[in-house]
Amino acid sequence: MNCIFCDIIAGRADASIVHEDDDVMAFMDIRPWTSGHLLVVPKRHAANLSELDPADGEKVFAAGQKVARALRGGSAPVEGVNFFLADGAVAGQEVFHVHLHVLPRTRGDGFGLRGVPRSPSREDLDGAAERIRASLVSE
């Protein structure tokens, strides 16, 4: 299997590492969307969310929180942080080893999500909730 993030974790590929423990690694994104943009990855390979052990998901999120706190308390001005995770090609996933993007934000940094909010009725929202609840119980 050819996975650039597994190569980084194994020390076979270069990375600018921010944090490493037994379960997760955080390193700088090679093509940052904002200054300080980094990625948190589980060390155990999981191509996508459905393959990810929820325990590893918790560790990735906890490491993201820790790094976000460090970014906010660091020397560079950071006014906010976005977490972003792409699951599936249609969602923008390009590297098929789960990774949490951690994006330090400052006013006017040019980053933004495109999308126009819709205005569904309560009936539509209730219908959507009902369908998702049905999938949850049948899991």
In the complex, the residues that contact ligand AMP under the rule CB under 6 A are 4, 13, 15, 29-31, 39, 86, 92-95
Least distance to Zn ion from the beta carbon of 15, Å? 13
Cβ nearer to ligand AMP, comparing 18 with 68? 18
Residue 10: which of Zn ion, ligand AMP, none does it interact with, CB under 5 to 8 A by kind?
Answer: none
Give CA–CA dist 88/66, Å, rounded: 26
Structure-token pair, residue 113: 């999500």
Residue 74 has φ and ψ, to the nearest 5°, of -85, -175
Closest CA to 42 of 59, 29, 62: 59
Q: Which does 6 bind (CB under 5 to 8 A by kind): ligand AMP, Zn ion, none?
A: Zn ion
Strands 24-28 and 38-42: antiparallel
Choose, by CB under 5 A, the member of 97, 100, 103, 104 that binds Zn ion.
Answer: 97
